[in-house]
Amino acid sequence: MKTKPALPTIRRTLAARSRIALIRADFNADITTSLQQACVTALQAAGVPAARIDRFTVPGCFEIPLMAQRLALKRKYDVIIALGAVIRGDTFHFELVATECARGVMDVSLRHNVPIVFEVLAVYHRRDAVRRAGPNRLNKGLEAAAAALALLTQLDSLS
């Protein structure tokens, strides 16, 4: 099993002034809520104040790109984090939702020049999503926080 790296170091002043939008898909809420909790806990542990993490909920992953676009247009956030879980069923719907969500988020990121951390689980079995959202260091919400912190530091060094 892979071990996860520690959270990247971020200057306290940068963490304290950063604005983060977190979009969570409500479909498969038990999984996405766990991702969100791990992500927010890690961001706060790195010094991002709770008041600077705005949380938004959309019905499902297909709606994430539209919310990301609306938030990007506000020019208020330094990074956006997208959390969701798409689990394969008996139809092609899984592929459509997962693919279009990823494409939509990338389009928004590039069009509006805002970093979007994409942590939408696309898995074949529910047990795989549960494993990736468990109450442990393998929770992908931690990876989302780590990516956001790294991006904040890297992009700040360019300005």
Domains for the chain: give ranges and CATH numbers: 29-151 (3.40.50.960)
Task: Give the pLDDT score at 15.
Answer: 93
93 tagged catalytic: yes
121, 84 contact by CB (below 8 A): yes
Euclidean distance between CA atoms 140 and 95, whole angstroms: 20
Q: Is the pLDDT reported for residue 2 higher than 70? A: no
Task: Give the pLDDT score at 5.
Answer: 54
Q: Measure the CA angle with vertex 23, ends 53 and 21; round to 5°.
A: 30
CA torsion 78-5-47-131 (nearest 10°) is 80
Task: Give the pLDDT score at 127.
Answer: 95
- Tell if the pTM clears 0.85, that is, is over it: yes
83, 144 contact by CB (below 8 A): yes
* Residue 8 pLDDT grade (very low, low, confident, very high; cuts 50, 70, 90): confident
Task: Give the pLDDT score at 89.
Answer: 86
* Residue 116 pLDDT grade (very low, low, confident, very high; cuts 50, 70, 90): very high
Contacts of 51 (CB under 8 A, 6+ apart): none
The arithmetic mean of pLDDT across residues 83-108, rounded, is 94
Residue 154 structure tokens: 């890297």
* Residue 118 pLDDT grade (very low, low, confident, very high; cuts 50, 70, 90): very high
Choose, from 93, 103, 111, 127, the residue flagged as catalytic.
Answer: 93
What is the tens place of the pLDDT at every residue in 16-64?
A: 999 999 999 999 999 999 999 999 999 999 999 999 999 999 999 999 9
Task: Give the pLDDT score at 4.
Answer: 56
Task: Give the pLDDT score at 104.
Answer: 98
Task: Give the pLDDT score at 92.
Answer: 82
Q: Mean pLDDT score of the chain, rounded to an integer? A: 94
